[in-house]
Amino acid sequence: MSTALIILAAGKGTRMNSDLPKVLHPIAQASMLEHAMSAGRALNPDRTIIVAGHGADAVRAAVAEIDETAEVVLQEEQKGTAHAVDQARAALDGFEGDAVILYGDTPFLQSETLEHMVAARAQADLVVLGFDAADPGRYGRLVMQGDSLEKIVEFKDANESQRAITFCNSGLMACDATVMFDLLSKVSNENASGEYYLTDLVELARGEGLAVTAVSCDESETLGVNSRADLAQAEQVFQQRARADLQEMGVTLMAPETVFLAYDTVIGRDTVIEPNVVFGTDVTIESGALIRAFSHLEGCHVSRGAKVGPYARLRPGAELAEDTHIGNFVEIKNAEIAAGAKVNHLSYIGDASVGEATNIGAGTITCNYDGVMKHRTEIGPRAFIGSNTLLIAPVKVGRDAMTASGTVVTKDVEAEDLAISRVPQTNKAGRAGKLMDMLRAKKARLTKGTK
């Protein structure tokens, strides 16, 4: 059976008080829309339709980066959820298969839940996703008769017995696309809000003798985001789940509540993560690594046995081989650090390759940018780079070569050579005291002149 996803992403999100469309606000460094689209991929959809409205250009640009095959349609006026879904009609003209309706501001939906909804279509024409609410509040109630969904009753319209129902409506649905659009054409806006409600499809379907049912998911999957406070709560929920998953897989988090993960962070078992570590996107840590406190990692790969930090920064393109050491206040960007190499103190290694078992001294900088273009530094195996060395790229340092501390390297250093580039030191006898006396006198004159 072919499947089309219809993801509603047109809301302005007034309570967010933001120029950014609500669905583009991030959780774990991915937009809520990307979370929804990611969950939907479990169905291997043939078509993905995003219904945009407020900030449509920004939504369109974001969708293109996430999935270039997804289509964006415009809901120029927000006239209710049924009206929003109906904006996908032209895009899905002639489509034969199921339509599954998702919401772009509901980021925690699990792939297994969507698969359950689609599987339920074998016994029903229309499937609604519900959840058992700990506090049903003002949610719409799902009135069931056995496996049959009789109707959805909004809180304001529910009687006392219906308000006692805890099985509530999430808003998600699955239905044959042709049937769904036929039902949508019959939805009326004759209500207090003058809007077209998607929930009306249940009553319309039953009126035509169609089978309607509801399946259940955990309430946490239906968590919606409507304000900055909701966004913070959603971030907390994601982080708690992600941390628990890592611990279950054998990762040690010394202070779990201080570690922040991205939606795609991968960490192997027996890795130890110390407190206050932040992961950006596209990070893979192999088993048995140590990430020390206050480090920040993004777009990098760390191999088995590597040690990173404390206070280290790994930027996109950083590739650490096995048993490497990246120490305090070291930054690595777009560079490969070979097995056993060490960059332990106060250094910047960018656009470079560092050979096996090489030692990079404190304060070393690869000067990779000339103001227009980036250039590469290549350091061979077992080299020793003295403290406070400046490597003016493009430049190469051969195997087993050395640079003296304070050297500025402007040309290649051949294998086993020692590079020294310093201004000769000259000591002026007694000049320190005379210089200080002169400076103090100058300061006194300046101070007197300001009074």
Catalytic sites, residue numbers: 345
Tokens read off for 36:
């929804």
d(CA 354, CA 342): 9
Do the Cβ atoms of 35 and 42 come closer than 8 Å?
no
Q: Enumerate residues 6+ apart whose C-beta is below 8 A from 348.
A: 330, 331, 333, 364, 365, 366
Cis status, amide bond into 381, omega within 30 of 0? no
Do the Cβ atoms of 155 and 168 come closer than 8 Å?
no
d(CA 10, CA 308): 43
d(CA 164, CA 162): 5
Backbone angles phi, psi at 258, to 5 degrees: -100, -5
Q: Which of 42, 57, 44, 47 is nearest to 7 (CA)?
A: 47
Measured from the Cβ of residue 89, the count of other Cβ atoms closer than 10 Å reads 17
Do the Cβ atoms of 432 and 447 come closer than 8 Å?
no
* Tokens 């010394």 belong to residue: 254
Q: Which of 73, 98, 67, 79 is nearest to 4 (CA)?
A: 98
SS (H, E, C) 128-157: EEEEECCCCCCCCEEEEECCEEEEEECHHH
Strands (E), 218-324: 252-253, 266-267, 272-273, 278-279, 284-285, 290-291, 296-297, 301-302, 307-308, 313-314, 319-320
The crossing angle, in degrees rounded to 10, of helices 32-40 and 56-66 is: 50
189-193 contacts: CB < 8 A, separation 24 or more? 189/79, 189/80, 193/80
* Tokens 């304060």 belong to residue: 363
Q: Which of 220, 216, 248, 218 is nearest to 233 (CA)?
A: 220
Q: Helices (H) and strands (E) in the chain — how many of each? A: 9, 35
- Chain centre distance of CA 244: 18
The DSSP element (H or E) to which 120 belongs, if any, is helix 111-120
